[in-house]
Amino acid sequence: MPIHDITLTITPSLPVWPGDPPVNLPQPARMDRGDVYNLTRIDISAHTGTHLDAPAHFIAGGAGVETLDLNVLIGPSLVVDTGDADALTADVLASLPIPAGTQRVLFKTRSSELWNRSEDVFVEDFVAVTGDGAQWLVDRGVRLVGVDYLSVAPFDDPVPCHRILLAAGVIPVEGLDLRVIAPGEYQLICLPIKIGGSDGAPCRAVLIG
């Protein structure tokens, strides 16, 4: 079965959250300067590109990214097209085809198209999950929720959605590249690097199917 890479490529031109550290990829060793090998240093925010949040991101003393359950990060998932919705409220979510028992849901929103822009500018009016939308997902038993821009929560109101999801042990995966993915069922593999105690980490995310 085909493997679809739904991960953004991290380069210095990738937009980052306003105020976050920029993407910095210096090369302390370079063959074109006489070194035996090339060596890149990776200097980025833990919330760069396609990444996920750990409870520690919005919960004081919360668990770090290395503790996230691999049995949640790997398994069946549903890609849902949210059409022209501007916000994923409880009402909007209730109107979408999300069967009972869905554990992993990835929202393909109008924000996916932002990755077609050539400008490396952060956009504030991306589609996100509201506080009541987050509670709807928790109440339905969802364990992982993916979005196609850089935060699961609205730009101007990040706290309620993040706190509700993270307190319930739901894993938010952010910055997915779903542009060419058709809605439907896939096997998700979403693996963050294992940074001890971190509030998040870049991950590689793929869909199989």
d(CA 187, CA 204) in angstroms, rounded, equals 14
Q: How far is the CB of 97 from its own copies (least distance, A)?
A: 28
Compute the least distance from the CB of residue 87 to its own copies, in Å: 20
57 classed as catalytic: yes
Tokens coding 100: 């009972």
Spell out the long-range contacts of 113-118 with Cβ–Cβ below 8 A and sequence spacing 24 or more. Answer: 113/179, 114/149, 115/8, 115/148, 115/177, 115/179, 116/179
Cα–Cα distance for residue pair 138/162, rounded to 1 Å: 12
Q: How far is the CB of 185 from its own copies (least distance, A)?
A: 18
Closer residue to its own copies, CB minimum distance, 29 or 182: 29
Return residues touching its own copies (CB under 8 A).
Answer: 3, 5, 7-11, 20-21, 25, 28, 31-32, 36-47, 49-50, 56-58, 60, 66, 70-71, 74, 158-159, 162, 189, 191-204, 206
Selected catalytic residue, list 47, 51, 57, 162: 57
Least separation, in Å, of the C-beta of 193 and its own copies?
Answer: 5
CB closer to its own copies, 37 vs 116: 37
Q: Name the residue among 65, 90, 194, 205 with its Cα closest to residue 142.
A: 90
Nearer to its own copies, 98 or 195 (CB): 195
Question: In terms of Cα–Cα distance, which of 11, 50, 12 is closest to 206?
Answer: 50
Give the nearer residue to its own copies in terms of CB position, either 58 or 186: 58
Q: Taking the CA of residue 208 as centre, how many other CA atoms within 13 Å lie in the half-sphere pointing to its CB?
A: 8
Catalytic residues: 57
